[in-house]
Amino acid sequence: MKVHLLDADLHFPPVAEAGDHGLLAVGGDLSAGRLLAAYEHGAFPWFMEDDPILWWAPQERAVLPVLGLKVSKSMRNELNKNRYRITMDRAFERVIRGCQEAPRDGEGTWITDDIVRAYVDLHALGLAHSVEAWKGDELVGGLYGVSLGRMFFGESMFSTATNASKVAFVHLVRWLAVKGFGPVDCQIMNPHLASLGATTWPREAFQVQLAHFLHAGPTLKGPWTAYEPELTGHA
């Protein structure tokens, strides 16, 4: 397996050169330019606190086609309760901190303080976005990710109230579908994502869709607060 060592150049090696487990490159930095180059290339950062920066392009990519969203009967009932108020880009750093602090069965988090700072910087550029779920004035769940062209790259979600992050995610995916977005990049499959309709695509298939939807429309640079009426379906 050949793992590339990144230097000051923002260039990434071809994703086909990633190892069997998807590790493509090591090193570099978390500058906005580097992160955007990675997403456009089909790679993403994922590493623990004491690791070097690791860049991944897995052979099997977790993807949720926006028209493939599964809303179970129980989730429809949850949505009909309107227990949560959904907003966008109202509390980005609080959302990413919530994801950082979410319980992980004794494991550490890959959302290091360096990651937090890097994505807060992307948010300031209008390219990283959050979706928040509120119960009254309390933030009880949310998710964040990066948007380029008509691609949304989901990063993480958290919830401190029943189904709060799922409600936020359902609202987001429905809105992305209306806006002509391509598949949501969910990176690594898990049961939570599978229950919402995510599936795995071969790396080659993901790269084809990525190349298309990066150029399917202009990047909707944030903040996305102006789109909240469309998100919730209320005028």
Nearest-5° angle of CA 201, CA 168, CA 57? 25
Per DSSP, the three-state class of 53 is coil
Same domain, 53 and 66: no
Long-range contacts of 158-164 (CB under 8 A, 24+ apart): 158/95, 158/98, 158/99, 158/101, 158/102, 159/102, 159/133, 160/98, 161/83, 161/84, 161/133, 161/135, 162/78, 163/75, 163/78, 164/84, 164/133, 164/135, 164/140
pLDDT at res. 1: 58
pLDDT at res. 20: 83
pLDDT at res. 67: 94
CA proximity to 110, closest of 102, 100, 119: 100
Same domain, 155 and 48: no
Alpha-helical runs (H) found in 65-148:
73-81, 92-101, 113-124
Please report, for the domain that includes residue 171, its CATH number.
3.40.630.70
Same domain, 11 and 38: yes
Same domain, 104 and 24: no
| CA distance linking residue 118 with residue 159, whole number of Å | 22
The residue whose two tokens read 């086909």 is 16
pLDDT at res. 78: 93
CA proximity to 26, closest of 1, 49, 45: 45
From first to last of its 235 residues, the chain has per-residue pLDDT tens of: 577 889 888 989 999 999 888 999 999 999 999 999 999 999 999 999 889 999 999 999 999 999 999 999 999 999 999 999 999 999 999 999 999 998 776 566 899 999 999 999 999 999 999 999 999 999 999 999 999 999 999 999 999 999 999 999 999 999 999 999 999 999 999 888 999 999 999 999 999 999 999 999 999 999 999 999 998 764 3
Same domain, 41 and 100: no
pLDDT at res. 235: 35
| CA distance linking residue 45 with residue 53, whole number of Å | 7
Same domain, 105 and 184: yes
Pairing of the two strands 23-27 and 60-64: unpaired
pLDDT at res. 133: 98
Same domain, 95 and 182: yes
Domain coverage including residue 178: 62-232
| CA distance linking residue 3 with residue 25, whole number of Å | 5
Residue 134: CB atoms within 10 A of its CB come to 20
Same domain, 71 and 40: no
pLDDT at res. 234: 45
pLDDT at res. 17: 93
pLDDT at res. 127: 98
Same domain, 74 and 38: no
Task: Name the domain count of the chain.
Answer: 2
Same domain, 144 and 82: yes
Instruction: Extract the tokens encoding 34.
Output: 């580097």
Same domain, 101 and 38: no
Instruction: Extract the tokens encoding 168.
Output: 């936020």
Same domain, 137 and 105: yes
